[in-house]
Amino acid sequence: MAILPPELVGEVLQHAWTSPMSVAEQKALLSSALLVSPSWAVTCMGILGGDVHILDRSFMEYYFQLLRGESILFQFGKSGHILNDLCRKVTIHVSNPDLPVRPYPSEPEAEKLLSDFLYRLKIYDGALPNLRSLKIQFQNVSCEDVFMYHRLIDFPPQVENLELQYAFNASIPRWMIPMPHFLSSGNNPTWTLPSIRHLRVTGGFDDLMKMVFVCPKIESFEMDACLYWDRKTKRDVRDPNLIRTLFFRGLPEQYEASLPRHVEGEPIQKLFVFTEDPVKAKDGSLTYMWWLSHDFSLGDIVDYENVQYISCKADEVA
């Protein structure tokens, strides 16, 4: 029987692993590829080690076993230490088979996978030092869950790119739509994500734009195919546009004079300039722009004395 060269095996597995697949198909590919031969197992571990998918809780346990070097696969090559250094991207699959018809009486079980995985990373000494991108695929999960149960409180500080992807297999119950208001009297997050530079939300409710307020050093934010609640029809509606928001450090020259001089002992005055209308590209995407005099925080939303928001037109600062 002809033996495929390792380079071709790598290309085949790389193409398969990055192709759109269901969780069941990914599990089948993984279990099959590891059993073909020792060379396939080594190649497969190298590819999966760089682009890790946490498919469920049992796979999470298996992955940490691999990182500790506790697998028969290591007799073929690749140590847990090498796998730890290989990882650049992690995708976590958080899934419920159906949409719940009423609020959970207590913390939902499937959703714990996200917070448990991040906590395990936190306590694992030197875990995934080269991890830069984290993607979370939610299936039939309330958009509010990530805030209500502080899923990201143990967020890895080396991650710069975060994507939240939501999908629902039925009409969304009304109780799943509300989101935290991030007001002083509300249930504000006790955590921030200062390492995040780029944030993308796909398929969730537009209230998830509040995620920017836990990312004080963010540079770009995208919302794609998100939902919003139409009060007239009392239905959730999908926005087909890609809405992109860009954040710039420092103010346009014509607004620098608007920032008062800081008086020692007094709170720092913050000034945020933003375009009131989006710039529409040929592909239909809409881009808003913000210029920030300082890093921002949750408190800025209600700090009317020390934070000024100034709207402008895009051509005024072009």
Q: Give pLDDT tens digits for 168-215.
A: 988 787 777 665 556 555 567 888 999 999 999 999 888 888 889 899
Percent of the chain with pLDDT over 90: 36
Question: How would you classify residue 256: left for phi > 0, otherwise alpha for psi between -120 and 50, otherwise beta?
Answer: alpha
Q: How confident is the model at residue 118 (pLDDT cuts 50, 70, 90)?
A: very high
Q: Are strands 220-224 and 235-238 parallel, antiparallel or unpaired?
A: unpaired
Give the E-state strand segments of the chain in sequence order: 51-54, 89-95, 133-139, 161-167, 198-202, 220-224, 227-230, 235-238, 242-249, 270-275, 279-280, 286-292, 307-312
Q: What is the mean pLDDT of the chain?
A: 83
CB 199 within 8 A of CB 217: no
CB 288 within 8 A of CB 222: no
pLDDT tops 60 at residue 7: yes
Percent of the chain with pLDDT over 70: 82
Which amino acid is residue 133, in one-letter code? S
- Decide which of 46 and 225 is more confident: 225
Check residue 302 and give its pLDDT: 78
d(Cα 275, Cα 290) in Å, to the nearest integer?
7
What mean pLDDT is predicted for residues 74-97? 79
